[in-house]
Chains A and B, each alone.
Chain A
Amino acid sequence: MTATVSYDEVEVGQEIPAAEYRVRRVNLVMYAGASGDFNPIHWNERFAKAVGLPDVIAHGMYTMAQGGRFVTDWAGDPAAVVDYGVRFSSMVVVPDDDEGATITVSGVVEEKLDDKRVVVGLTARADDAKVLSRARAVVQLA
């Protein structure tokens, strides 16, 4: 259980370079199956529009998982993420085409805690809308 990032080498304000994650309809179908969340707003355009949504939207948890992937890739060990929370502030609309949508995640070290832990604040955007807010992870560094 060892992160590859050293606590002593991290500074408050340090930015973690942005990464882009593509989401297409097939990813939502896979996520529905893996998570057990078969809410039709995530795969059925007819249903999504009938309940007032612009189109099929990604599972919030799919977007949250991309933020988690961003942090675990940075930390070097998935088990280093000891606390991770988000608010879903906007929907990720996923059109039925080959492009899908793109979620762009970036991060900044906001605080250094005791026990070699740091708080990483995350920003996630899709189509210029902020899709996660108050997104923060507490990461156990080496």
Chain B
Amino acid sequence: MALNRDFVGRTYASSAPYEVSRVKIREFAAAIGDANPIYRDKEAARAAGHPDVVAPPTFPIVFSLQGGSEALVDPDLGLNIAMVVHGEQRFEYTRPVHAGDELVTRSTITDIRSAGRNELMTIRSEVTTVSGEPVCTTYNTIVERGGAA
């Protein structure tokens, strides 16, 4: 089923600030198999000039889709979640994410289009601190396999 184009331009805010913790960064680094001490050891991170342990470049995937996921399960969108695979992803940083950050996300559906038999939807998420400092922008494109057929 084709996705509902009326969703393009809709914006969703994260429900609550996301607190970036050392424990979560360590867990994420372990999951991707990365032993870099700057992800795991506060002293190593400080020695490298960071205020605390740094999050890996792809870490914001953990929290940046909070708002957008609300759209994905909205029956009016017409998305069959079981057929979804990831199409594209990008993280554009103003500054690194590190432990201690309290981040909020505003996600906007920027595009819905067909490509062959598939439906593609792109969500842009602006990640800022709770005080409004820009941190990063993420771009997420999902593919609904067979959605346009």
The answer to whether B31 and A60 have CB atoms under 8 Å apart is no
Known: A34-B62, A66-B32. A78 touches B39 (CB 8 A): yes
Q: Is the CB of B36 within 8 A of A73?
A: yes
B44 CB, nearest partner CB in chain A, Å:
11
User: Would you give the shortest CB distance from A8 to chain B, in whole angstroms?
Assistant: 20
B128 to chain A, nearest CB (A): 17
- CB of A61 within 8 A of CB of B89, answer yes
Name the contact of B48 in the complex, choosing from A2, A39, A88, A137 (C-beta under 8 A). Answer: A2
Interface residue B3 (Cβ < 8 Å from any Cβ of A): no
- Taking the complex as formed, is B87 at the interface, i.e. its CB lies under 8 A from any CB of chain A? yes
B residues near A36, Cβ cutoff 8 Å: 62
Cβ–Cβ < 8 Å partners of A2 in chain B: 48-49
- For B82, the chain A residues whose CB sits under 8 A away are 51
Encode contact with B along A48-59: 1 for CB under 8 Å, 0 otherwise.
000110000101
Q: Is A7 an interface residue (CB 8 A)?
A: no
B90 located at the interface, meaning its Cβ lies under 8 Å from any Cβ of chain A in the complex? yes
Residues of A within 8 A of B39 (CB): 78
**In contact, B90 and A83 (Cβ under 8 angstroms):** yes
Is B96 engaged at the interface, CB distance under 8 Å to the other chain? yes
Residue numbers in A under 8 Å from B96 (CB-CB): 1, 78-79
A77 at the binding interface (Cβ < 8 Å):
yes
B70 on the A face (CB < 8 A): no
B89:A86 contact, CB within 8 angstroms? yes
How distant is the Cα of A72 from the Cα of B81 in the complex, in angstroms? 33
Q: Which residues of A contact B93 (CB under 8 A)?
A: 81-83
Q: How far is the CA of A83 from the CA of B89 in the complex (A)?
A: 11
Shortest distance between the CB of A97 and any CB in chain B (Å) = 18
B58 at the interface (CB under 8 A from A): yes
In the complex where A61-B86, A73-B36 touch, is A52 in contact with B145 (Cβ < 8 A)? yes
Closest to A134 in B: B88
B108 to A: closest C-beta gap in Å: 18
A35 to B49, CA, bound (A): 27
Chain A residues proximal to chain B, CB less than 8 Å: 1-2, 21, 27, 30-31, 33-37, 39, 41, 51-52, 57, 59-62, 64-66, 68-69, 71-73, 77-79, 81-88, 91, 134, 137
Write 12 A-B pairs (CB below 8 A) sorted by A numbering: A1-B48, A1-B50, A21-B33, A34-B31, A61-B58, A68-B57, A69-B56, A79-B96, A81-B57, A81-B93, A87-B87, A88-B89
B residues near A (Cβ < 8 Å) are 24, 27-28, 30-34, 36, 38-39, 48-50, 54-58, 61-62, 81-93, 96, 139, 145
